Amino acid sequence: MEIQDQEKNITVNRKARHEYSILQTFEAGIVLTGTEVKALRQGKANLVDSYANIEKGEVWLLSANISAYEQGNINNHEPTRTRKLLLNKSEIRKLIGKVKEKGLTLIPLRMYFKNGKVKVELAVAKGKKVYDKRESIARRDFQREQERRFKY
């Protein structure tokens, strides 16, 4: 009997693919409190302007906004707290090597449920220059135009 990997997106960082060129991606678990998971089930998360940092051999997700759970009590979570990401030691070593290179950073691309657990897709990325962004937009428009022509 096969176990299927059922994935359900919670939030996608669309701005990341526009602002950065993605070099490599990793799947990471995330340490959350109960009210955070309940808020995520309601889809109340935002990854825009968030990033990951490596400190003392651990990976941390900073400025990711998970809104407060509405039915929560006084022990509700802080929306933009720093959260620990769970990766293997070998993956963390790879990330440390990549991030030490000039101009590379760690950004979350999406947050999703996989078999009932919250996962974060983390990317090693390099910031795009303005002319690179223009080139990406022109390429996308050209592709769209080609698809329209072949359609008719």
Q: Model-level pTM?
A: 0.82
At 94-151, the pLDDT tens digits run 999 999 888 899 999 999 999 989 999 999 999 888 888 898 889 999 999 999 888 7
Q: Residues near 137 by Cβ (< 8 Å), separated by ≥ 6?
A: none
- What residues does each domain of the chain span? 7-151
- Determine the CATH number of domain 7-151: 2.40.280.10
Three-class DSSP category at 76: coil
Phi, then psi, of 151 in degrees rounded to 5: -65, -40
